[in-house]
A and B are shown apart, each in its own frame.
Chain A
Amino acid sequence: MKQLLKRHETYVLAIIIIFSLIITSINPNFLTLENMFDLLKSNAFIGILAIGVLFVLISGGIDISFAATATIAEYLTVIVCLKIGGSMIFAFLMAIFIGILLGAINGYLIDRFSIPPIITTIATMNLYYGLLIVFSKGKWLYTLPPYFRSFADIRVLTLYTKDGLPYGISIITVIWFALMVLASLLLIYTRLGRSIYAIGGDVISAQRVGIRVRFMRIFVYAFMGAMAAIAGIVQALLVQTVAPNSIVGKELNVIAAVVLGGASLAGGVGTVFGMFLGVMLLAIVQNGMTLMKIPAVWYDVFVGLVIIISVGFSSWKAKKSKVTSLIDVQEQSPQEKLSVQGGIS
């Protein structure tokens, strides 16, 4: 229990629960399976981007260019698919390839020239996005290949409302969850994953214990690129239109969601579960405001307040626990106490 109270995730979860209770008391339609499934579907896009951002933040970096990467992967893939036919699997593979390439360029530039990641990725964001606008001339793609529509309609579980309308768990939600499970396993159980925490915690120490820092950096940004690319395709599936400017501008929302979920901008800290909660907290606040009939002018005010309250509360907790850490020593388990005593004697 004590351990649980120390975790940032616990607080985010608590805030989510409190919010859900408030919203449900005003509008019972909030806590329905249908609304939850809709939320999980429409936030899959932000959520997949968030997985990539989480990796980058854990490694001690930051990426601003992922929205541009996502747009390029989405745009090029759809253009090629329209030309040659292709299939959904081909679309995902091609997008991921483009994403990895663009991400790896970020990683290489950051490591090779030691430019601060924020500057590098602001530069590549402008470069990538600018090139896309130059070559696409801002043209929108209204008609996607037919399999984009049929794939987006797939449901893994279908239920019916009392009016007989179908709803359920979308394939898009499943993709998001599968990626989160994979990312989680990678971070917790593999040498690769642990190395990301290591370089985020202290890059020099990581180098000394034999972690190949350049490889890790390129890997992290390439991974971000791959996630951005998948998110780009998911966005096309959700909206059924590809617009060169529809993703750019959402970077800060995604980064905010990941930081809300407990990842540190200083690196070395963060979990997939926390990130998921962060994404859902923002989603629920935005969803809840319409459901609670709050006038639209107040939306931004509430989003700002929620971020301050949730991040502020857990930081304040963390600060307090540092101050009281002396007391914590006495609350260790008997075994640990034994070993401490043993060390002294």
Chain B
Amino acid sequence: MKTYNNKAWLLVLPVVLCVAFSAIVPLMTVVNYSVQDILGPDQKVFVGTEWFKLVMRDPELHEALGRQILFSAAVLAIEIPLGILLALALPAQGWRSSLALVLLAMPLLIPQNVVGTIWQIYGRGDIGLAGAALNGLGLDYNYTGDSMDAWLTVLVMDIWHWTPLIALLAFAGLRAIPEAYYQAARIDGASRLAVFRFIQLPKLRGVLLIGLLLRFMDSFMIYTEPFVLTGGGPGNATTFLSQYLTQKAVGQFDLGPAAAFSLIYFLIILLACFVFYSLLQNAGPTEKAEH
């Protein structure tokens, strides 16, 4: 009979308590708010599922959700392959490698509101380097007035900000592959593509799983950068879910609908994370994700 050491439970207890206070208690509060009409600190009316009905049938929410899904899909479709390519292109060792890693990590060190401000100035048609250059090339670029320009600017900003995370994760994953695999591939006369397809990619599955989850959750909850850059505009073109939620909760103080919306938001993220996790766990018949 295998015996287990239960001391680990004691060691995780502080984290459990932290999570309880920072996540579970607020979640319980949100559930309470979602079934009540909160008129004031001591004025509450139980309304059952009324707010859920309202939120589920809100066309503006459907539009924000559509934009959000499109944005997250675009972010993942670009950042993951680009991050892997960057990691493959980085020098493997020596001072060049260290320098490249430091330069690559720089966008990650910048706070999100500063990133928004940088791109706000960078994209301006009159004084911004990118905006003025694009206009100089004859393109009519104006992210404050044109929906497509605003979208592309938010997307490029996110790619600039977060692709380094995938690149760093992939780089760490690549460095962890033992040299023996490459030696065996050389003996077999494997092509560069075959090495990538049959050695590097399967071995990267673990870190890519983490990267995919992090990027999905982060992009799905994106708030600060588009808020600073476009304020959700022009019109509602870059109003993503979290900004719509903030407008409801803090702008209009519709706490009940905002709470119902938060719970739906939470369920969507939970489902998506589970799907990603399961897909990557079961993707390969022989290679399991390494944690």
Q: Do A and B bind each other?
A: no
